[in-house]
Structure 1
Amino acid sequence: MALRANLAIAERLRARSGARLLLALKCFATWSVFDIMAPALDGTTSSSLNEVRLGREKFGKETHAYSVAYADDEFAAVVDHADKVIFNSIAQLERFGAQAQGKPLGLRVNPGVSHSHFLLADPARPMSRLGERDPARIAAVLDRITGVMLHCNCENDAFESFDALLGRIEEGYGAILSQLDWVSLGGGIHFTAPGYDLDALADRLRGFAERYGVTVYLEPGDTLVTNAATLETSVLDIVENEGRIAIVDASAEAHMLDLLMYQQEAAIAPARGDHIYQVCGNSCLAGDIFGEGRFEAPLRVGDRVSILNAAGYTMVKKNWFNGVRMPAIAIRRPGGEVERVRAFTFEDYVASLS
């Protein structure tokens, strides 16, 4: 089971590095498998009131609350469900800090450097609103915070690039880091990727913690659930237009939105054979395309097509565009049996509207 294999790697990293690992709910919040994930992790990190409450009620363990901007009518509830409260700006710290009821407070720091393949996801992009950059401004509020969050990586699958990036952060903010109790290095570190030097990462994290006298947190999301789910679809129609096109009973726009946002193609099983089809969704969006699939035999109406790597940033982003039917959520247990844990109905569609 891919999820368990990824979690085993996470446990090895925890044991060797001493770092604490928090599931990033913004990426994966399917609470039906939290019982499988919780033993390998230390808690959850959130980006909204709904997420921090979900982490507290469904995952347990440690909860970190963060928001790009807290709202007045939600902040008290955030504090109720959080173990640590992290602010995106000094202005928000000054506005809400006194209301945090003695909880440990943190501040997001934007060091102006990052690893990202996409401008859309780059926290160090021009005019970024994500975190404080000026070391002098940050130093001026160190008496009000106990830690900082630095989220600078996106799909960083090489230890060497992570190591170089962390070195640049230390050069710019080392004097601040040494005055803290904890530092979160965020997510986006793809340490479950094949060939990743896990031992080097663990030793680097342990050395960082010892050098600055801090507890280190990581906030993994996608790396924990890589290849842990598929979107199972059925062929509804085959059309010909400059090539063969298979229309399936799902939608990239509604069910795997990141494919369109980042202009990527899905991995489609079995990915072998001489019969090539463009696999498309059944919404009215002209560009609702999963990608090119290769098959060993011609596709027919009713055939199953598996869209791979469908866990991270999928179920948390699913939507009701066109009223397209929502796929059920099912879990394949270690013995091979499939348990349907959630099916969606017309009433769910109606309830999402007004």
Structure 2
Amino acid sequence: MPNAIPSPCFVLDEQKLEDNLSLIRTVADQAEVEIILAFKGFAMWSAFPLVRKYISGATASSVHEMMLCNEHMKTKSHTYAVAYKDSEIDQILAGSSHITFNSLNQLERFGPRTHAQGVSVGLRINPEYSDVETELYNPSSPTSRLGVKADPQNLQIPDYVEGLHFHVLCESDSMALEKTLHSVENRFGHLFPQIKWINMGGGHLMTRKDYDTSHLIQVLKDFKTKHNLHLILEPGSAFAWETGSLKTTILDIVENGGVKTAIIDASFTCHMPDCLEMPYRPNLVNGYSDVQKGNQRYRLGGVSCLAGDFLEAYSFDRPLHVGDEIEFLDMIHYTMVKTSTFNGIQHPAIGIKRKNGTFDLIKTFGYSDYRNRLS
């Protein structure tokens, strides 16, 4: 099978995805909540036939994600966008079961029309709490453009608003959710008698090995019982967490200033942007993120012209050579959805390792993919 995988290539492990889906379904059933897939984290629609066996819904952040939900999840979407266009709102209304507005201005502008067409109306709120330390990923910063603040507890909403939505977590644990819910209750609890549902957004990394799913289930059950509301969670990372890798190949080894850099046939800025933004250091199949573990140290460099397209040194048990494979682990969530063709660099192929061990090459990319997104 390995010889059938091109380079570079995103490889989804079907069995690992199903294991995650099974756990997510168990949490949803035991807590009696609705868990839906956030396309912003995982939108590999070739895997949706398997996903649909375990969950029935998805959340969209744009008209295109809404269309993907309609076509490949075969259902209307829970839709939230920072702002909606007049030219798209009718199409979004037709393809959505729920629509959440980010501001009171957008709610006033489109809310009555949304309600009149039978779509459940929601408002995004800002609980002013988050455990996210990286500012780029923190929706609850003091000047955040995401969600409405309580100011304090004097927020009023129209009768047609049926739900509240918050999203302040990122790969967080259940303790962070519990603290967030306390803040939501304190600031927005006066609105609970008016609504039917609360969408708790994403960031619930329930498929991580050390995540306390029992505590999560209890937190959700307690909140549901206390307030008699329908609860919705929309994880992105949890679905595809540790379900696959990005296979790359070394094209060159450059040494300057005593630093050896292995240049791979992929790019961090193009294909693994979280490695530079978060920053995040993925583990390797045949190498160590801890530079003390192996006696050979190499920076890993992308093939783009961006000077900072590299990760600081990894260590290896032996010297690297041109043609060696570098396989980055946990490269399925928030990777394919954020890739670009900067420099015209070839996008990695996409494939699935099936449960029986075979490999299916789902898609390859070429010049036309680069050309057709430009003009």
TM over 0.5: yes
How far apart, CA to CA, are the structure 2 residues paired with 1:179 and 1:78? 25
Of residues 93, 96, 102, the one that matches 2:110 is 96
Task: Tell me the equivalent position of 1:202.
Answer: 217
How far apart, CA to CA, are the structure 1 residues paired with 2:347 and 2:73? 25
Of residues 248, 259, 272, the one that matches 1:243 is 259
Answer whether contact 1:135 1:173 (CA < 8 A) is retained: no
Answer whether contact 1:22 1:218 (CA < 8 A) is retained: yes
How far apart, CA to CA, are the structure 2 residues paired with 1:87 and 1:253? 31
Tell me by how many angstroms 1:48 deviates: 0.6
> Which range moved further: 251-260 or 160-169?
160-169
Task: Tell me the equivalent position of 1:310.
Answer: 331
Identity score, percent: 35
Tell me by how many angstroms 1:18 deviates: 0.7
5 Å-filtered alignment, 1:248-263, equals 248-263=264-279
Answer whether contact 1:178 1:213 (CA < 8 A) is retained: no
One-letter amino acid matched to 1:141: I
Answer whether contact 1:24 1:46 (CA < 8 A) is retained: yes
One-letter amino acid matched to 2:69: G
Task: Tell me the equivalent position of 1:176.
Answer: 191
How far apart, CA to CA, are the structure 2 residues paired with 1:74 and 1:184? 23
One-letter amino acid matched to 1:167: H
Of residues 336, 341, 347, the one that matches 2:362 is 341
Are residue 133 (structure 1) and residue 154 (structure 2) matched?
A: no
Are residue 73 (structure 1) and residue 87 (structure 2) matched?
A: yes
Answer whether contact 2:153 2:187 (CA < 8 A) is retained: no
> Higher relative contact order by CA 8 Å / sep ≥ 6: 1 or 2?
2
One-letter amino acid matched to 2:171: E
Answer whether contact 1:109 1:148 (CA < 8 A) is retained: yes
Task: Tell me the equivalent position of 1:234.
Answer: 249
SS in 2 for 1:40: coil
Answer whether contact 2:252 2:263 (CA < 8 A) is retained: yes
- What number of residue pairs does the alignment pair up? 353
Gap change, CA 1:249 and 1:90, over 3 Å in 2: same
How far apart, CA to CA, are the structure 2 residues paired with 1:51 and 1:263? 26
How far apart, CA to CA, are the structure 2 residues paired with 1:62 and 1:154? 25
One-letter amino acid matched to 2:273: L
One-letter amino acid matched to 1:89: S
TM-score, normalisation: structure 2: 0.90
Of residues 298, 304, 316, the one that matches 1:277 is 298
TM-score, normalisation: structure 1: 0.95
Answer whether contact 2:66 2:77 (CA < 8 A) is retained: yes
Tell me by how many angstroms 1:89 deviates: 1.0
Gap change, CA 1:138 and 1:129, over 3 Å in 2: farther
Gap change, CA 1:106 and 1:217, over 3 Å in 2: same
Task: Tell me the equivalent position of 2:140.
Answer: 124
SS in 1 for 2:141: coil
Answer whether contact 1:268 1:291 (CA < 8 A) is retained: no
Task: Tell me the equivalent position of 2:238.
Answer: 223
How far apart, CA to CA, are the structure 2 residues paired with 1:316 and 1:79? 24
One-letter amino acid matched to 1:202: I
> Which range moved further: 338-347 or 266-275?
266-275
How far apart, CA to CA, are the structure 2 residues paired with 1:336 and 1:68? 42
How far apart, CA to CA, are the structure 2 residues paired with 1:289 and 1:265? 11
How far apart, CA to CA, are the structure 2 residues paired with 1:135 and 1:207? 27
How far apart, CA to CA, are the structure 1 residues paired with 2:22 and 2:49? 14
Tell me by how many angstroms 1:135 deviates: 6.2
Q: Tell me the C-alpha RMSD between the 2 structures.
A: 1.6
Tell me by how many angstroms 1:167 deviates: 1.6
SS in 2 for 1:178: helix
Of residues 111, 121, 137, the one that matches 2:127 is 111
1:272-328 CA distances to partner (integer Å, 9 max, x unpaired)?
Answer: 542221111111111101443332322111111101111111111111111111110
Gap change, CA 1:18 and 1:138, over 3 Å in 2: farther
How far apart, CA to CA, are the structure 1 residues paired with 2:32 and 2:131? 24
